[in-house]
């Protein structure tokens, strides 16, 4: 992991040197192929000039405030939301998978250690400190019983979105359901 992260940072031409952290406390892996299909779809839309760094651990919503923004009278979406909350009750690890762009995993511990190093180097309040690791993170995916509706949380340092997805015409696409997002 350390070598992969270091090679990723060198390939990005960055002066950042992430500090390796302790191993993840996640005890299980995301194992279903549908989740990885959704990850591939949503991560392919993140605009980065180089390789994407992806947090290896899933990241649930910080609070349940955003998931209340999914407004629908459809009881199936309520089931999806309930499953989303249940699936994100524990942190999980992502397995290697394929997307249409190069990426490497970075551990949450390495991100936190690097953030702590940068807080000492750049004291004060910042929206984003110079040299911060630019990465993306995803939650576990919540599905309906037929696995044709799903919700996933995706974030980068500067924005996050709770994305309702539906499986239509043999691919996952954004569903026409109100959701929410944030941007710094």
pLDDT band at 153 (very low <50, low <70, confident <90, very high): very high
Helices (H) and strands (E) in the chain, counts: 4, 10
Domain that holds residue 31: 2-183
pLDDT at 65: 54
Q: How many domains does the chain have?
A: 1
Q: pTM for this one?
A: 0.80
pLDDT at 26: 61
pLDDT band at 63 (very low <50, low <70, confident <90, very high): low
Ranking 27-31, 117-121, 166-170, 180-184 by mean pLDDT, the lowest is 180-184
For the chain, what is the mean pLDDT? 82
**Highest mean pLDDT range out of 70-74, 115-119, 149-153?**
149-153
Q: Which residues lie across from 29 on neighbouring strands? A: 93
Per the CB < 8 A criterion, the answer to whether 99 and 45 are in contact is no
Ranking 6-15, 114-123, 137-146, 163-172 by mean pLDDT, the lowest is 6-15
**Nearby residues of 103 by Cβ (< 8 Å), 6 or more positions away:** 43, 51, 52, 53, 54
Strand pairing class (135-138; 92-93): unpaired
Q: Which residue is associated with the tokens 């490497």? A: 104
For residue 8, count CB atoms less than 10 angstroms from its CB and return exposed for 0-12, middle for 13-18, buried for 19 or more: buried
pLDDT band at 159 (very low <50, low <70, confident <90, very high): confident
Q: Exposed e or buried b for every residue in 151-184, given b needs 16+ CB within 10 A?
A: bbbbbbbeebbbbbbbbeeeebeebebebbeeee
Alpha-carbon distance values, 153 to 5, 6, 25, 93, 114 (Å): 24, 27, 20, 15, 23
What is residue 141's three-state secondary structure?
A: coil
Tokens at residue 122, please? 């750049």
């Amino acid at each position: 992991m350390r070598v992969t992260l270091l090679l990723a940072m060198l390939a990005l031409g960055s002066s950042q040197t992430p500090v390796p952290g302790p191993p993840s406390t996640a005890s299980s892996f995301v194992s279903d192929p549908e989740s990885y299909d959704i990850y591939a779809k949503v991560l392919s839309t993140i605009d980065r000039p180089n390789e994407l760094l992806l947090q290896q651990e899933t990241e649930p919503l910080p609070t349940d405030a955003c998931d209340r923004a999914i407004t629908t009278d459809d009881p199936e979406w309520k089931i999806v939301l309930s499953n989303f909350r249940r699936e994100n009750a524990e942190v999980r690890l992502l397995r290697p998978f394929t997307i249409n762009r190069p990426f490497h995993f970075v551990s949450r511990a390495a991100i936190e250690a690097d953030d702590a190093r940068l807080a000492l180097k750049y004291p004060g309040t910042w929206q984003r400190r110079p040299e911060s690791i630019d990465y993306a993170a995803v939650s576990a995916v919540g599905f309906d019983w037929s696995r044709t509706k799903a919700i996933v949380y995706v974030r980068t340092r500067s924005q996050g979105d709770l994305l309702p997805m539906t499986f239509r015409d043999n691919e996952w696409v954004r569903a026409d359901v109100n959701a929410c997002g944030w941007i710094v």
